[in-house]
Chain A
Amino acid sequence: MIAARFPFSNLDLFRGEVDRLFEDFFAAPGSMGTRQTGRMTVFPALNVWDNGDELVAEAELPGLSIENLDISLMGSELTIRGKRESQNGKDTACHRQERGSGEFARTVALPYPVNSDAVDAAMKDGILTIKMPKAESAKPRKIEVKTQ
């Protein structure tokens, strides 16, 4: 069992150090440094990568289905909106409530223009994956160098 934390105990200080090491590791290059003291300041956390022909954004959204989400693209700004309802009834005793609920919205600026007609969003096991093909103008192009 993971014991309740006793404030200022040496063990706790040690744990704090270990946690911080892990966090520093995750806040490695490429991160926007949003992971602070183990809690996210923004929700949902996003991972975005460039596949060459498309940009892929991924977010962890447990308990939500694609119908609960509103994903929109304005220019090169991607917005994810949604709401997670609390499933906990009022007439029950709640011993722990760590899972958040409520509305959220997050907007990120994409580094390249994307083809908004061909965007594909899918949800599987609480993971949202948005695939955004790059606009023709943003695709890598090989330029042939002619020799005279």
Chain B
Amino acid sequence: MSTELSANQNVSVAQKNCEQTRSGCLFRPNVDIIESSEELLLRADVPGAAGKDIELDYENGVLTLHAKVEPRQTDRGRCLLREYAVGDYYRAFEINEQIEAENISAECVNGVLTIHLPKARSAKPRRITVTNSH
């Protein structure tokens, strides 16, 4: 099974609750969210952003991703084909599951950001042993 390959979509400023000080456009990165018994795993396509450029905040159950991308391709000669624009990535998620906020970890490899959100002990599946009573 393969899903259609597509570039990240443009996000309108209206979708972000506050305005930013830097001009330029924001993109909504494509994400995969996968749940296992231990954690929620979020992968986002943020080509052009390195780990140091990514701000990741978790507050009141909302995970906010803001990846800053420095403008490239400016003053670099004559443009022949322009099919995408370069800009920051922004997206926020409301996390409904109970997670251990202090153990959230993330890494960015080849323009893919992976965020591990470990589940809280209370949210992990547990098997309860039923004992016989006499």
Contacts and interface: CB of A to CB of B under 8 A. Distances in A.
B101 to A, nearest CB: 17
A138 interface: no
Contact of A126 (B11, B30, B92, B112): B112
A18 B12 contact: yes
Contact of B7 (A28, A60, A64, A65): A60
Nearest to A56: B76
A15 B6 contact: no
Interface residues of B, number: 54
Given A22-B10, A32-B81, A45-B83, 15 more contacts: A15-B14, A26-B10, A44-B7, A45-B7, A47-B84, A48-B80, A49-B79, A50-B78, A51-B77, A64-B110, A93-B34, A95-B33, A95-B34, A100-B4, A100-B5
25 contacts: A38-B9, A38-B10, A40-B83, A43-B7, A44-B5, A45-B7, A46-B81, A48-B81, A49-B77, A49-B81, A51-B76, A63-B111, A64-B110, A88-B34, A89-B34, A89-B36, A92-B36, A93-B34, A94-B33, A96-B32, A98-B31, A100-B30, A126-B46, A126-B111, A126-B112
